[in-house]
Structure 1
Amino acid sequence: MWLEILLTSVLGFVIYWFVSRDKEETLPLEDGWWGPGPRPPTQEDESIRPFKVEASDEEINDLHQRIKKARITPPLEDSHFHYGFNSNYLKKIISYWQNEFDWKKQVEILNRYPHFKTKIEGLDIHFIHVKPPQQPRGCTPKPLLMVHGWPGSFYEFYKIIPFLTEPKNHGLNDKHVFEVICPSIPGYGFSEASSKKGLNSVATARIFYKLMLRLGFREFYIQGGDWGSLICTNIAQLVPRLFGFTKRDVELLYPVKEKIFYSTLRESGYMHIQCTKPDTVGCALNDSPMGLAAYILEKFSTWTNAEFRNLEDGGLERKFSLDDLLTNIMLYWTTGTITSSQRFYKENMGQNFLAIQHERMKVHVPTGFAAFPCELLHVPEKWLKVKYRKLISYSYMPRGGHFAALEEPELLARDICKFVGLLERQ
């Protein structure tokens, strides 16, 4: 069971070992209310409002004061990242955060793309909507919904967006040009958190589908990793009208014992906590910037490459800049959303997961999958085809791990274009 839960958490795909009906089923397109109190009798305001990220001196001063008072436990000798985040390297992170990191400058970067908010099912939903700067010749930009996961944010997509909206300027075929919509999952970043229990991936999928309808798109492409891939799968199950082991499989799966041990034991501790008592650890993380940074950045180390745990600095700066990493941290810190983001685990996995309706359903929407070699657990094409009946594109990526859009934006953009090309030729 834990292997299947891990696969869902990491990739958003559950591997089915039992035979189920192959008919096309859909999830009911229901409704919900997640705001405080009962649903008001008046119709919900459906306006789309511009939004701007802001930074205040007060929040920066508060952050610096908390960092100054941080208490650090020395690491064991030669422990690297084997016991979690190495506190010697954490001192460097904290020093950079306090003395060199410029949050106001990063806010300017965040505001380079247009931000918006709109009320859906009682919640203020935040999203960025990026259109090509120039109308492409001979084609209409394709709407693409991109959904993040935990512990990421909409900021993960900032490096891939130029490849999708301006492909010709970045060495890609300009036949496929996109306008990109990146929402924040409710309870993450600038999207309002639910006031009620039960907001899971299906409810989020329905909210994001309503968002796309509100933007004028009845058909669109979807892409996601981590929770994002499960949410995208649920969208396909809600409205499907939208759209064998190889040698390499064996290489990526071997040795099975080490892979399963690594995935289910070494990297799943956070999941046990967040599936059961997210508010408890949330109290600590929401109060300590140092604790929040260690908790999240450890994932950006070991989920990017398992071998990075053998390094004193966790290999973080081999793939990411400290500015990018701390900007993601700040999106949790300044909005106070680490606790609400962790509740998403309990709402989705704090019960009999395989008894949930959408996990028993197959997907009949054309699907593409990018298998990054450093992902926590490899999923062979044959396994995916059991659930995703129209898997038309499966790519063995040459490098990359869990945070693909931030780590390898060009590789992922090329694979998205490859999938769209295959689909449009059908």
Structure 2
Amino acid sequence: DAFSENLPTKALQELDRPKLQLLALSSVGIGLTYFLVWRRKAKKSIPLGDGWWGHGQQTLRDDNKIYPFKVETSEDEINDLHRRIDQMRYTEPLEDCGFQYGFNSNYLQKVVSYWRNQFDWKKQVAKLNEYPHFKTNIEGLDVHFVHVRAPHRPGQKVLPLMLVHGWPGSFFEFYKILPLLTDTKDDLAFEVICPSIPGYGFSEAPHKQGFCSLDAARIFLKLMERLGFNKFYLQGGDWGSLITTNMAQMKPQCVSGLHLNMLAVTKRGVGMLLSLIIGPYLPFLVGFTREDVRRLFPYFEKNVYDLLMESGYMHIQGTKPDTAGCGLNDSPVGLAAYILEKFSTWTDRKNRDLEDGDLEKKYSLDDLLTNVMIYWTTRSIIPSMRFYKENFKTNPQNRVDARTGIFVPMGHAAFPNELMHCPLPWARWRFKDIRSYSYMPRGGHFAAFEEPRLLAEDFVKFVRKVEGKKR
């Protein structure tokens, strides 16, 4: 059991009694001091605030109506795509090279050939429209969302749920998990709302500077209120993890539970230092399990060097997104390479050593290219990249949400190939009511897209724990 594994190790037996006592007392003393200091600084909730992100001056009154929306395409749009694809110039990859330098151009030509000659965008548009789409104006922006209602069978409890995507994903990431949550014969089902983050997909991009995760969280809270929900569950990964966490911090009274498949460590203090020093040798002393040790250590190699190797995009998008975005917004092939390389490496970093990035092992080209087409047809790559700059304008450690605990019931699905691993003791620094913490058997960053059944099962398990405790 992930919560109860607490076995002595050989290293413990090799320590003499005085050293062991000193180590234990030092750990407890420093940890207690750190906890008390952090607790004194921590806040209980975040002010909701307000904003206006539309063109020009704020109007006197929002349009609160909700309008049906349909994804559409045209022959002109498809012909323009094909013309640009046909004009692509390729650079020969280095010999014996996989994805270590980025998307391998030999394999890219195969993907593009499929895109140009076999991919049916009209068919995929029909697939996108299988679920009902809507738009509504909030804080000056037309916010897009998919709203899927459960059939509501006799004796079935239906709970509202919002799923929030990240970058470089979209609402389409959730299309495989939606039927597992809504159309189920179990006693529990969900009415699901999947919004597009403003600036992503079919949601209008902010027209003013400063739109960060806190603003997205507030807009999504307003969306749920407009839909008539005053109590609901939240689930997210990547930016969706931060946005849903911010929602729980702003209106904890509205959030029945928060389930995440990505946790970022925001508190890097004495407690973390102690964990890193003691963890590899006496993991049970700092609350680590054997699986934590396997995923975390050697720490520099797995959590510092690897992240540095994979975070170049973040520095570009966090500083000058518009510059790099010009090329991506003009070239569909460049856009596909930029986005799909992440779906290769973030699914499993070992894929960097393969010429095809093992891209089609977990995903179909139709699904991958549909996600790319959502970015291409909406011209949303630049505003989606700007979201990084807006969130990194200030030191994340100094933001109000970094100093605010999360007190709603929380569950975490820890996938083994996620970009970073957050052990349960670290998660408890911020999340004060963790109901479930699961070491998932397989999967990476795009959990809903890659392993929808695993994620759905863990989410339902978490909800059952929360609902059971309510009764």
Give the superposition deviation at 1:44.
Answer: 1.1
Per the alignment, residue 237 of structure 1 pairs with 249
Q: Is the 8 A contact 2:43 2:403 kept in 1?
A: no
Do structure 1's residue 224 and structure 2's residue 236 form an aligned pair?
Answer: yes
Q: Which residue of 2 aligns with 1:30?
A: 49
* Residue matched to 1:123: 141
Shift of 1:140: 3.3
Counterpart of 2:201, as a letter, is: G
Q: Tell me if 1:201 matches 2:213.
A: yes
Whether 2:202 is the aligned partner of 1:190: answer yes
Match of 2:114 among 96, 106, 124: 96
The alignment yields a C-alpha RMSD, in angstroms, of: 1.1
For residues 422 and 258 of structure 1, the distance between their equivalents in structure 2, rounded to whole angstroms, comes to: 36
**d(CA) in 2 for partners of 1:66 and 1:139?**
50
Alpha-carbon offset, residue 263 of structure 1: 3.3
Contact 1:24–1:364 under 8 Å retained in 2: no
Q: Deviations over 1:97-120 (max 9, x none)?
A: 000000000000000000000000
SS of corresponding position for 1:393:
strand
**Partner of 1:105 in structure 2?**
123
User: Counterparts of 1:161 and 1:328 in 2: how far apart (Å)?
Assistant: 16
Question: Which residue in 2 is equivalent to 1:371?
Answer: 414
SS at match of 2:318: helix
1:401 maps to 444
2: CA distance, partners of 1:102 / 1:285: 22
| Aligned-residue offset at 1:401 | 0.3
What secondary structure does 1:124 align onto?
strand
- 1:139 Cα offset (Å): 3.1
SS in 1 for 2:59: coil
- How does 1:33-112 map onto structure 2 within 5 Å? 33-41=52-60, 43-112=61-130
Deviation at 1:74, TM superposition (A): 0.5
For 1:157 and 1:240, the matched residues in 2 are separated by 24
Q: Name which of 215, 218, 228 aligns with 2:227.
A: 215
Q: CA deviation at 1:228?
A: 0.2
Contact 1:136 1:177 in 2 (8 A): no
Q: For residue 101 of structure 2, give the secondary structure of its aligned residue in structure 1.
A: coil
Q: Which residue of 2 aligns with 1:179?
A: 191
Give, in whole Å, the separation in 1 of the partners of 2:184 and 2:122.
29
Match of 2:163 in 1: 146
Cα-to-partner distance string for 1:61-106 (whole Å, 9 max, x where unaligned): 0000000000111000011111111000000011000000000000
8 Å contact kept, 2:177–2:448? yes
Per-residue CA distance 1:248-298 (angstroms, 9 max, x = gap): 111111222221244331100000000000101110100001110010000
**Residues 1:338 and 2:381 are matched in the alignment:** yes
Q: Determine the C-alpha separation between the residues in 2 that align with 1:262 and 1:405.
A: 27
Match of 1:291 in 2: 334
Counterpart of 1:10 in structure 2 is none
Structure 2 distance, partners of 1:38, 1:221, is 34
Matches within 5 A, 1:4-23: 19-21=37-39
CA deviation string 1:385-408 (max 9, x = no partner): 100011111000010000000100
- Distance, in Å, in 2 between the alignment partners of 1:351 and 1:68 is 42
Q: Residue by residue, what CA displacement relative to the aligned partner does 1:161-198 show, whole Å, maximum 9, x if unpaired?
A: 01001223xxxxx1220011000000000000000001
Please show how residues 343-422 of structure 1 align to structure 2 within 5 Å. Answer: 343-422=386-465
Structure 1: any 5+ residue segments left out of the alignment? 1-16, 169-173
Report which of the two structures shows the higher radius of gyration computed on alpha carbons. Answer: 2
Kept in 1: contact 2:160–2:233 (CA 8 A): yes
Q: Who is 2:260 aligned against?
A: none
Identity over aligned residues, as a percent? 62
Find the aligned partners of 1:378 and 1:176 in 2 and give their Cα distance: 30
Counterparts of 2:226 and 2:234 in 1: how far apart (Å)? 16
Q: Find the aligned partners of 1:67 and 1:202 in 2 and give their Cα distance.
A: 38
How far, CA to CA, are the matches of 2:194 and 2:85 in structure 1? 31
8 Å CA contact 1:117–1:127 kept in 2: the answer is yes
Could you tell me how far apart the structure 2 residues matched to 1:60 and 1:191 are? 21
Shift of 1:424: 1.1
1:253, 1:259 within 8 Å by CA — same for their partners in 2?
A: yes
In structure 2, what residue type is equivalent to 1:296? I
Look up the match of 1:156: 173
TM-score by length of 1: 0.93
Q: Does the CA-based 8 Å contact 1:199-1:344 persist in structure 2?
A: yes
Q: Partner of 1:304 in structure 2?
A: 347
| CA distance in structure 2 between the aligned counterparts of 1:177 and 1:99, rounded to whole angstroms | 40
Partner of 1:167: 184
Q: TM-score, normalised by structure 2?
A: 0.84
> Hey, what's the Cα distance between the residues in 2 that align with 1:348 and 1:117?
25
CA distance in 2, matches of 1:262, 1:184: 32
Write the distance in 2 (CA, Å) between the matches of 1:111 and 1:254: 45
Q: Distance in 1 between matches of 2:116 and 2:335?
A: 15
Structure 2 gaps of 5+ residues are 1-33, 257-286
Given candidates 295, 303, 318, the residue that maps to 1:252 is 295
Query: How far apart are residue 349 of structure 1 and its match?
Result: 1.2
Query: How many residues get paired?
Result: 403
2:296 touches 2:303 (CA, 8 Å); kept in 1?
no
Which is worse superposed, 228-237 or 255-264?
255-264
Amino acid at match of 1:396: Y
Query: Residue deviations 1:217-255, cap 9 Å, x none?
Result: 000000000000000000001001122211111111122
